[in-house]
Amino acid sequence: MKRTWKNYLAIPFLIVAASCSQPTVSSEPEAHAPTMGWNTYNTFNLDINEQLIIEQAEAMANSGLKDAGYRYINIDDGYFGGRDPETGRLLIHPVRFPNGLKGLVDHIHSLGLKAGIYSDAGTNTCGNYWGKDSLANNVGLYGHDAQDCEMFFNELGFDFIKVDYCGGTTWQNYYSIGIDEEERYRQIRQAMDETGRKDLRLSVCRWNYPGTWVREVGDSWRMSQDINCSWRSIRNIIDQSLYISAYASKGHYNDMDMLEVGRTLSQEEDMTHFGMWCILSSPLIIGCDMTTMRAETLELLTNPELIALNQDPLGLQAYVAKDCGNGTYVFVKDIETLHGKTRAIALYNSTNEPQTIGIDYSTIELGGTVKVRDLFARADVETAADNISIEVPAHGTRIYRLEATQRIERSLYEAETAYLSEYQELHDAFSVATAYYEKDAACSGGAKVVNLGRKPKNDLRWLDVYSETGGEYEVTIDILPTPDALQISEWDSNPGGYQFFLSVNDGVGNRVRLDKDSTSATITISLPAGSNVVRLYDDRYLMPGIDRMTLRKL
């Protein structure tokens, strides 16, 4: 049965309320959990108006979504009315929003919610260019950063902004302006900061992962092309998320785009969609019509155990613990306590047939007795004493909370779980000399890191190599030979060999040398107790492909 919430508040009240409400500075901590809310675009595209936003806000407040943690009502593209030709002031669409936006924002706040807005880093928005929304000419932030931010955040009281990039690319704007994404988003963040508001969130929408610089400006950032309501789109975005866990941390998240849950996907696909967005710590931004939401959709979107996984205080994104080699994966992450005895796993089946997916608990560093809870069913389940093995339907996912009596020290670190200091997905990696992740069935985890070296920052870092008590460790680095890698002229006794350096906590690097037929190298290092950073680098030469690092305590 469909549920519908209607707002009967008269528009004149909104106008009165606008005169007595001021934006407030939140006491919310900087390192927040992923944003939870709703956005106009998936369902309504540019066809938005004041009453529609009111009804959606009322639905969020009254349906149980607000109580589950959803807070942001985000107005996407379609509200623009051009700019005043004399003052440059941004105008609001006179038909869609005849009363402006101030009273609307005040009403959203009066419901205990937060309000979000949209703009573009360039001159025009995507809706202006692709949707032919002709009234919205020259409405992007370009040339108006301070003016628009003052209007959005201090005058109107918005709390969040999504900044797109159609106007930043020469082929998607009317002025053929080409801009540098890092420079532009830094400028926008600075303009936001200069408003004096300390509670603002910036969603960077540069589509694919823009680069490691984005953490310094964005609260979240898109890591894929736009989502659409199809299994192919969901699967592709998850596939792009396989090896970027190292770039998420508390307060800063990889954004897998808005949720298509509750539209036209099957229930199994909806479960995978929402569950994987939760364990991968993506922002949870609802995209369906909340006023006509089905009961099963509302139940899924308000599942407190899945939401707790997404909002976990550690802020970690799950990484691939096992690539089963047939389109199925096991993801894992710590929850509640770093290096503790409680972890979450997802058994993910991307294929069109049911698949049995399993993993030994020791592989994910758990030992002793393991208590297992199914987060979709919200029920405890029985498994084998030392492993879990489940038949997962086509396009399906099963997510579990594991609580063990013992935590085993991690000994295997796949290269694809590491942080690459110059990683980016916008530009050709070879032309800009940045390392990247590449699938390879010959690798233990199904992937490797290639194109490392040749400059100081183009390195690989395992950011959390944990030793409970500290001590000496034997470290083995497995490599994949790179045919056109270094020819070390000074190493005359072994021409065509490989080298790189390994350091702990940015200390003095140890030179690691391999002859041309080697596939691994072993050295001894000392690790202090606690979390450590192990870095592989070479300032001068191209490095071989890196498969994994294994540790053995001496």
Structure tokens at 392: 């997962």
Residue with tokens 């994966």: 329
Query: CA 146, CA 193: separation in Å to the nearest integer?
Result: 10
SS3 annotation, 125-181: CHHHHHCCCHHHCCCCCCCCHHHHHHHHHHHCCCCEEEEECHHHCHHHCCCCCCCCH
Q: Kindly provide the b/e burial profile for residues 325-355, where b requires at least 16 CB atoms within 10 angstroms of the residue's own CB.
A: eeebbbbbbbbeeeeebbbbbbbbbbeeeeb
Query: CA 538, CA 242: separation in Å to the nearest integer?
Result: 26
Q: Are 381 and 375 in contact (CB under 8 A)?
A: no
> Could you list the active site residues?
164, 226
- For the chain, the C-alpha Rg in angstroms (whole number) is 25
Structure tokens at 58: 């009322």
Structure tokens at 175: 């002025």
Structure tokens at 70: 């959803």
To 10 degrees, what angle do helices 11-18 and 102-110 make? 90
Q: In angstroms, what CA-CA distances link 425 with 14, 88, 214? A: 44, 34, 12
To 10 degrees, what angle do helices 231-240 and 267-279 make? 20
What is the DSSP pairing of strand 72-74 with strand 90-92?
A: unpaired
